């Protein structure tokens, strides 16, 4: 028989840097999950990735306090800021000049990397989603 799901948590955790401090510790502590067990498992699974990359993580907590977690790809904004070599998106989108520039080739590469987490049937549609994210951040798509 399948385990009864008690709660589903969604956290954004830096790759390879999970530790019991907030936001991980309090979120997992409230539901009675062994925090260090999660941190060790998460860090082991993400050690090959770029350290500090923000990874959306869905943690499923079961009735017996056991858990499983699924790691998604980093947000599109992270990849776009990296490609455009900017620190953050524009605060005044559409009112001033673009803060950075990405090529359509870079947009397609980001779309291919995020394909499994996007709601798109092919890479062209995924690229349109990523290009829209870039424009909303004030990054020009050339």
What's the CATH code, domain 76-141? 1.10.10.250
- The set of residues, in sequence order, having a beta carbon less than 8 Å from that of 23 and lying 6+ positions away, is 11
**Residues 59, 61, 63, CA angle at the centre, nearest 5°?**
170
Instruction: Give the residue extent of every domain in the chain.
Output: 5-71, 76-141
What's the CATH code, domain 5-71? 3.30.1550.10
How confident is the model over 91-142, as pLDDT tens digits?
Answer: 787 777 888 889 999 999 999 998 888 888 899 999 999 999 888 888 888 8
Dist. CA 26–CA 67, nearest whole Å: 16
How confident is the model over 50-81, as pLDDT tens digits?
Answer: 888 999 999 999 988 899 999 999 999 999 99
User: pTM for the whole thing?
Assistant: 0.84
């Amino acid at each position: 028989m399948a385990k009864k799901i008690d709660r589903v948590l969604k956290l954004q955790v830096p790759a390879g840097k999970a530790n019991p401090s907030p936001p991980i510790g309090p979120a997992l502590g409230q539901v009675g999950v062994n925090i260090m067990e999660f941190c060790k498992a998460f860090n082991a699974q993400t050690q090959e990735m770029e350290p500090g990359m923000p990874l959306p993580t869905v943690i499923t907590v079961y009735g017996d306090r056991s858990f499983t977690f699924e790691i998604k790809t980093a947000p599109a904004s992270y990849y776009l800021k990296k490609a455009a070599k900017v620190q953050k998106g524009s605060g005044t989108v559409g009112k001033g000049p673009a803060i950075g520039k990405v090529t359509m080739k870079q947009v397609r590469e980001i779309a291919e990397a995020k394909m499994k987490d996007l709601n798109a049937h092919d890479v062209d549609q995924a690229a349109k989603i990523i290009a829209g994210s870039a424009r909303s951040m004030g990054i020009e798509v050339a």
